[in-house]
């Protein structure tokens, strides 16, 4: 059984490193005791996301429903023959992750199957389920059973997840519309995306970052630096986005090159160590 546990974890690690350089760097800056559970959470959310975003030519709704059923069975039984779900259920059961968080995440994935545009209510619900609850799952791991700490950091964690997701929406606006026909921002017409609308979204994201920073400062030491690195990376990405026009956002994907990511990692380490947050 121990070998299967190790193989299951390795699958989630491989999924993380294959799909997200940024997230992999972020995980490696956490204390080593946190690596495995965070890999397991990312592996789970990545597979669900891939079902709705890239499994073209298959019955996505049926596959997602099967994945959802298997997820909750794995958690209930404490085992799964699916390595990703086996790895994930171990984290859920060990850290007592609320099943409502998982349900909210899967509901947002289901929304991606049907929603091509979002009103304000659907937008907020989607962001909560697709990003904020993932941050809350990770926070459960970071707090390691300290419920008082979890409750005190819950709102900042949600704000950070919200900021990350909104940055992703801006960065991926072209591919979301061209490949999936989606526009996440409420009341926004892709063909008439204006500078004023872009600035309004950017201001909203900046406020989310401000609200999140105080929580980052209060995280347990083992998690604080890794989360701060992710915060700095997304702030840098937003800064690049702010420098390009609304029309450019619709034509290309803004990136932070790997070389720059490592430079940010280096400077973040000094700021964090010297408490210059």
Among the listed residues 206, 203, 200, 171, the one whose alpha carbon sits nearest the alpha carbon of residue 188: 200
Say which residues have a Cβ less than 8 Å from residue 101's Cβ, sequence separation at least 6: 133, 136, 137
pLDDT tens track for 157-216: 999 999 999 999 999 998 888 888 888 999 888 888 999 999 999 999 999 999 999 999
Mean pLDDT computed over 242-247: 90
Those residues with Cβ within 8 angstroms of residue 51's Cβ, 6 or more apart along the chain or in another chain: 60, 63, 64, 67, 109
Q: Cα angle at 61 between 65 and 166, to 5 degrees?
A: 95
Residue 267, pLDDT above cutoff 80: no
Cα–Cα distance, 58 to 52 (Å, whole number)? 10
Which residues are registered as beta bridge partners of 183? Answer: 117
d(CA 1, CA 40): 17
Residue ranges per structural domain of the chain: 2-273
Report which of residues 226 and 209 the model is more confident about.
209
Q: What tens digit of pLDDT does each residue of 123-136 get?
A: 999 999 999 999 99
Instruction: Name the residue with higher pLDDT: 247 or 212.
Output: 212
Tokens standing for 64? Answer: 């997602």
Lowest-confidence pick of 27-31, 55-59, 259-263: 259-263
pLDDT at 49 over 80: yes
The whole-number pLDDT of residue 233 equals: 87
Looking at domain 2-273, its CATH superfamily turns out to be Farnesyl Diphosphate Synthase (1.10.600.10)
Mean pLDDT of 26-42: 93
What predicted TM-score, i.e. pTM, was given to this entire model? 0.91
Tokens linked to 230: 């992710």
């Amino acid at each position: 059984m121990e070998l299967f546990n190790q193989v299951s974890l390795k699958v989630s690690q491989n999924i993380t490193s294959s799909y997200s350089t940024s997230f992999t760097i972020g995980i490696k800056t956490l204390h080593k005791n946190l690596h495995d559970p965070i890999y397991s959470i990312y592996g789970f959310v990545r597979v669900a996301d891939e079902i709705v975003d890239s499994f073209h030519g298959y019955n996505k709704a049926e596959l997602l429903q099967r994945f959802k059923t298997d997820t909750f069975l794995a958690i209930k039984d404490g085992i799964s023959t699916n390595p990703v779900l086996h790895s994930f259920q171990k984290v859920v059961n060990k850290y007592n992750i609320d099943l409502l968080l998982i349900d909210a995440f899967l509901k947002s994935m289901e929304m991606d199957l049907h929603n091509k545009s979002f009103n304000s209510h659907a937008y907020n619900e989607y962001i909560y389920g697709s990003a904020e609850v993932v941050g809350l799952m990770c926070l459960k791991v970071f707090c390691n059973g300290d419920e008082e700490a979890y409750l005190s950091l819950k709102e900042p964690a949600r704000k950070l997840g919200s900021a990350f997701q909104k940055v992703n929406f801006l960065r991926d606006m072209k591919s979301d519309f061209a490949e999936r026909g989606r526009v996440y921002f409420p009341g926004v017409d892709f063909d008439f995306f204006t500078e004023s609308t872009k600035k309004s979204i950017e201001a909203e994201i900046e406020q989310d970052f401000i609200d999140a920073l105080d929580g980052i400062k209060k995280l347990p030491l083992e998690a604080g630096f890794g989360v701060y690195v992710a915060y700095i990376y997304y702030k840098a990405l937003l800064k690049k986005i702010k420098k390009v026009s609304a029309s450019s956002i619709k034509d290309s994907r803004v990136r932070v090159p790997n070389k720059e990511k490592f430079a940010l990692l280096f400077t973040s380490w000094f700021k964090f160590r010297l408490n210059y947050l």
